[in-house]
C-alpha cells in the first residue's frame, strides 16, 4: 500500500464541484488518498464537492491547494498528464495500462503525480510541459472526451491492479475429491432412474453426459454437497410421492 500512498492526483483548474467529489470517491475505491488542486478557481462550489464525495469526504478535507501546477508537482519524480487532445507534444502518449508498470515502479521509490486538466479544455501545452509522461485513455471517436472522475478512475484502476494489491477471494471450501464426486454421480444415477428421466439400458450413456456437464468448471465440496442434496430429495420424492426432507445420508 505504500506505493499507492505515493501517488498524487492533481486536478488543474477544475470547474465543477460534483466532479471533484466524484474524483474523491474514485480515489478511495482504488486506495489513493493524496489529492491536490492546482490553480483553484474562486467560483468553485465546495458544497457540491462535499456532497458528491460522500463517504470519501476525508480525501476532500485533506486536499492541498497550490497556486500553480509547477508547485503541485515539485516533489514528484514522475508526472503523467492525461489528455485526449492531439498535437505535436502529445504524440508520445500511451494508455494507462501501458504506463502503469513504469509509474508504479517509480511510486515504490518516491512520489509521482497523475495530472488532469479542467473539464472544458483539458491540459494546455503549458501544463504538459511539467509532465514527463502523457496518458491517453482509449475511447470511441464518436465521443473521445471522458468525464473528469471517469478519467481518474480508469487511470487509478490500472495503477491499483499494477500495484498487485488485489487478490481474488478463494472458494469457501476446497475442490471436491474424486471419491466425493463418484458418490455424487452414483446418487444422481439412482435419482434420474427413479424419476424416469432415463432407463437402465441408456443410463451409462446419459451419465457420461452428466459427467461432462459437471466437469466443465470447478466443483467445490459445498457444490457437490448441494448437488447430492438435490439428488437425494428427488429420489425421496419419487419413492414417497411427497416433498419432504429425507433423513440424512449415513
Segment 112-141, tens digit of pLDDT = 999 999 999 899 999 999 999 999 998 888
Dist CA 80 CA 37 (whole Å)? 15
Name the residue among 130, 105, 106, 104 with its Cα closest to residue 116.
130
Q: Which residues contact 78 (CB under 8 A, 6 or more apart)?
A: 102, 103, 106, 112, 113, 132, 133
CA atoms within 13 A on the CB side of 24: 24
- Write down the pLDDT at residue 89: 55
Orientation angle between helical segments 148-163 and 17-29, nearest 10 degrees: 10
pLDDT at 2 over 60: yes
Q: Dig out the grid coordinates for 130 from the structure.
A: 511539467
Which residue, 112, 32, 104, 40, is CA-closest to 75?
112
Confidence of residue 244 (pLDDT cuts 50, 70, 90): low
Q: CATH topology of 2-163 equal to that of 178-240?
A: no
pLDDT band at 106 (very low <50, low <70, confident <90, very high): very high
36 pLDDT exceeds 90? yes
pLDDT given for residue 93 in this prediction: 87
* Cα–Cα distance, 35 to 23 (Å, whole number): 9
Dihedral sign, Cα of residue 115, residue 118, residue 123, residue 126: negative
Q: Looking at residue 143, what is its pLDDT?
A: 87
Residue 173 clears pLDDT 90, i.e. is over it: no
Model confidence at 80: pLDDT above 80: yes
The dotted CATH code for 2-163 is: 3.40.1280.10
**The pLDDT of residue 91 is above 70:** no
84-93, 114-123, 241-250 — which one is most confidently predicted on average?
114-123
Please classify residue 248 by burial: count the beta carbons closer than 10 Å to its beta carbon, then call 0-12 exposed, 13-18 middle and 19+ buried.
Answer: exposed
CATH architecture of 178-240: Orthogonal Bundle (1.10)
Torsion sign over Cα 239, 240, 245, 249 = negative
**pLDDT score, position 164:** 84
**How many Å separate Cα 80 from the centre of its chain?**
21
* Neighbour tally for 241: CB within 10 Å: 8
**181: its cell numbers:** 464426486
**pLDDT for 166:** 64
Q: Which pTM value belongs to this model? A: 0.74
Q: How confident is the model at residue 240 (pLDDT cuts 50, 70, 90)?
A: confident
Q: Reduce the DSSP state of residue 54 to 3 states and report it.
A: helix
Where along the chain do its domains lie? 2-163, 178-240
Phi (first) and psi of residue 96, to 5 degrees: -55, -35
Amino acid at each position: 500500500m505504500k506505493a499507492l500512498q505515493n501517488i498524487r492526483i492533481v486536478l488543474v483548474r477544475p470547474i465543477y464541484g460534483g466532479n471533484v467529489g466524484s474524483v474523491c470517491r474514485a480515489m478511495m475505491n482504488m486506495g489513493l488518498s493524496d489529492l491536490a488542486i492546482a490553480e483553484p478557481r474562486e467560483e468553485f462550489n465546495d458544497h457540491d464537492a462535499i456532497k458528491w464525495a460522500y463517504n470519501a469526504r476525508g480525501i476532500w478535507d485533506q486536499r492541498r491547494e497550490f497556486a500553480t501546477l509547477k508547485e503541485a508537482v515539485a516533489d514528484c519524480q514522475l508526472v503523467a498528464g492525461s489528455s485526449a487532445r492531439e498535437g505535436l507534444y502529445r504524440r508520445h502518449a500511451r494508455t494507462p495500462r501501458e504506463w502503469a508498470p513504469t509509474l508504479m515502479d517509480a511510486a515504490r521509490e518516491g512520489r509521482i503525480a497523475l495530472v488532469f486538466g479542467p473539464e472544458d479544455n483539458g491540459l494546455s501545452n503549458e501544463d504538459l510541459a511539467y509532465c514527463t509522461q502523457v496518458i491517453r485513455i482509449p475511447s470511441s471517436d464518436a465521443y473521445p472526451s471522458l468525464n473528469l472522475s471517469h478519467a481518474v478512475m480508469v487511470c487509478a484502476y490500472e495503477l491499483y491492479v499494477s500495484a498487485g494489491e488485489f487478490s481474488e477471494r478463494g472458494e469457501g471450501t476446497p475442490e471436491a475429491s474424486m471419491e466425493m464426486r463418484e458418490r455424487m454421480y452414483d446418487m444422481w444415477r439412482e435419482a434420474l432412474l427413479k424419476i424416469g428421466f432415463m432407463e437402465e439400458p441408456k443410463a451409462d450413456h446419459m451419465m457420461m453426459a452428466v459427467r461432462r456437464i459437471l466437469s466443465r468448471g470447478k466443483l467445490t465440496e459445498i457444490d457437490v454437497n448441494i448437488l447430492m442434496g438435490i439428488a437425494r430429495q428427488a429420489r425421496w420424492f419419487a419413492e414417497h410421492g411427497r416433498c419432504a426432507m429425507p433423513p440424512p445420508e449415513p
